[in-house]
Amino acid sequence: MAEQQQLQPLPTTYRERLAQFRILEEKRFELIEELLEKLEKAEAKLAQTELDLASEQNVRRILQAEISEAKGEAASAKEEAAQAKEAGNALVEKQSRRPFVLFLIDADSDGFLFQDKYLTKKAQGGEALADELLIRTREYLRPQFEDADSLDIIVRVYANLEGMANYLVRQDKVRNLGQLRAFSTAFCGRISSFDFIDVGVGKEGGAARKVRESLSFYTSNTHLRHVILACSSADLPASLVSTLPLEKVTLVESLPIPAALTEQPLRVTKFPTLFTPPPPVKSPRTRGRNGPQLQLMQQEDDNGGSTWLVIQPERAKSQGNRLMRRREDSEDNDSNLSISIGPDNTVSVDSGRRRRIMG
């Protein structure tokens, strides 16, 4: 092959030589064109790569900013959670410092008058009632709270002392208002957190209103562990009950509690050693509208229970005796026949004018 190339004749004329130069020039232009085309493609790819790189850099910067912001938010959230936890621990610690139980009593309400063994003994009775109330309250709380013995017990008794004294004087249980004030003062002085509050003579239901106001106020206190409520169910409207933390409320039962309250998640208990039981229903009269009455009652005294049978005489009905009725009415209380059975089975018969005891 080399020999054949060597054997090719060299151009001899100018035209042949020019033709060869043209062929070489065309090859050179083709090469240049090819190189330029590749260069343009390379530049285009480079420009696209630069754009892609810039875009990637922007995305990376955005991601870094978001990561940094997320880390900041996470750190802030962690700090806030730590602060909230610290605040929660502080609140729990604060609540655990002096938790208390509140006992609210409406002594003017039916069924929540204190027993005679307290009311009739003036200062001594007030102190005895305070001691008994504290003991029975802790007994009730122990099954519910492990720290029942360390809980503060706050007692608020509301009553119209003058009205209560007038009632007790009519019942021959105290002689005057001073004896009842001595009772209430001794009750307050026995235990520092016990108060017997005289609501005075005012609008009807003053004690009940005080109980409702205290209930609304204290149930929002974070230190309150439980509240024991001794008042008439009629003084607890649905609008008030719906606002209470019912899991923290116990009702003291004396008279039957209506179904509207028993259906609520409320605890119910009794304190038979504190309050006088409601009076029994009177037996019907045996004859006529104004005929004699039989009434069976049980009253507790220092020596035990006594059962009383009271017979009220028939009043005069004749129109001819109208002038005598006032006198007879005034003597009715003295002419009642009372039969009592004592704890030692002794029977006492008292006709008002004469008393006889039979062994």
Say if CB 341 and CB 347 are below 8 A apart: yes
In tens, the pLDDT along 217-266 reads: 999 888 999 999 999 988 888 888 888 999 999 999 988 888 888 888 88
What pTM was estimated for this model as a whole? 0.56
Residue type, 234: A
The pLDDT of residue 189: 95
Say if CB 215 and CB 226 are below 8 A apart: no
Joined tokens for residue 230: 């001794």
In tens, the pLDDT along 169-204 reads: 999 999 999 999 999 999 999 999 999 999 987 666
Joined tokens for residue 60: 């990376």
The pLDDT of residue 234: 86
In tens, the pLDDT along 45-104 reads: 888 888 888 888 888 888 888 888 888 888 888 888 888 887 777 666 665 678 999 999
Using the predicted structure, report yes or no on whether residue 111 has a pLDDT greater than 80.
Answer: yes
Of 109-113, 160-164, 306-310, least confident by mean pLDDT is 306-310
Write the DSSP assignment of 301-341 as a string of letters.
ETTEEEEEEEEEPPPP--GGGHHHHHHHHHHHTTS-EEEEE
3-state DSSP call for residue 11? coil
Joined tokens for residue 357: 């005891």
Query: Distance between CA 334 and CA 26 in Å, rounded?
Result: 155
Query: Distance between CA 169 and CA 161 in Å, rounded?
Result: 12
The pLDDT of residue 279: 66
Q: Where are the domains of the chain?
A: 95-269, 293-358
Provide the CA 340 distance to its chain's centre, in angstroms.
46
Query: Distance between CA 330 and CA 335 in Å, rounded?
Result: 10
Residue type, 251: L
Write the DSSP assignment of 161-191 as a string of letters.
HHHHHHHHHHTTS-SSHHHHHHHHHHHHHHS
Higher pLDDT, 328 or 185: 185
Query: What is the average pLDDT value for the chain, to the nearest integer?
Result: 78
